[in-house]
């Protein structure tokens, strides 16, 4: 009888980034701006992103840019003001106090309507390759309003 092999330590969860106290004041409505430090991916795997955040007034947006080689991929539809994370059952951030944000899964992220969106509890997962670079983005539907990322945890599995 053979035994089950132990989990290879190279694929054990690895903390890539823990950032706190981040904020962006939107110069323009529905535009995403870099927030926090970029995150380099040391090996291929599954990237997991969890965010606690809030806004000071209007609806906040969070996006993510993945750079692979010389190509940038946008998660969150910057041109359409789509947020990857939301609060209080919305596809954007509405809470004025820090709250764990839900990952928003839209059936069609390029759709002009948010009809048909659903939320997943708290964590976004992305397949990544060694050498990828991740940059979080944030903005607000109202120019001059602030979107906060109070606590960001990014792990690689």
Query: Is residue 85, in this structure, part of any structural domain at all?
Result: yes
Quote the percentage of the chain above a pLDDT of 70: 80
- Summary mean pLDDT of the chain: 86
How many structural domains does the chain have? 1
Query: Is residue 112, in this structure, part of any structural domain at all?
Result: yes
pTM of the predicted protein model: 0.84
Residue 107 binned pLDDT confidence (cut-offs 50, 70, 90): very low
Rounded CA-CA distance 8/107 in Å is 35
Residues 115 and 4: beta-carbon distance below 8 Å: no
Residue with the bigger pLDDT between 89 and 118: it is 89
Query: Is residue 95, in this structure, part of any structural domain at all?
Result: yes
Whether the predicted pLDDT of 90 surpasses 90: no
Query: Is residue 4, in this structure, part of any structural domain at all?
Result: no
Whether the predicted pLDDT of 136 surpasses 60: yes
Instruction: Give me the residues paired with residue 12 across strands.
Output: none
Dihedral angle computed from the Cα positions of residues 26, 32, 38 and 42, in that order, rounded to the nearest 10 degrees: 160
Tokens of 51: 């965010």
Query: Is residue 135, in this structure, part of any structural domain at all?
Result: yes
Query: Domain containing 44: what range?
Result: 22-156
């Amino acid at each position: 009888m053979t035994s089950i092999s132990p989990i290879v330590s190279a694929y054990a969860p690895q903390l890539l980034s823990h950032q706190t106290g981040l904020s962006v004041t939107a110069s323009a409505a529905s535009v995403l701006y870099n927030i926090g430090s970029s995150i380099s991916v040391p090996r291929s795997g599954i990237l997991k992103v969890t965010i606690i955040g809030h806004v000071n007034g209007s609806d906040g947006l969070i996006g993510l840019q993945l750079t692979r080689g010389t190509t940038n991929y946008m998660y969150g539809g910057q041109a359409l003001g789509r947020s990857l994370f939301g609060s209080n059952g919305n596809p954007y951030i509405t809470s004025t106090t820090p709250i764990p944000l839900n990952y928003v899964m839209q059936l069609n992220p390029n759709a002009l309507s948010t009809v048909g969106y659903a939320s997943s509890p708290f964590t976004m997962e992305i397949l990544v390759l060694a050498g990828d670079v991740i940059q979080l983005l944030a903005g607000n539907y109202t120019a001059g309003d602030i979107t906060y990322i109070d606590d960001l945890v990014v792990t690689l599995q």
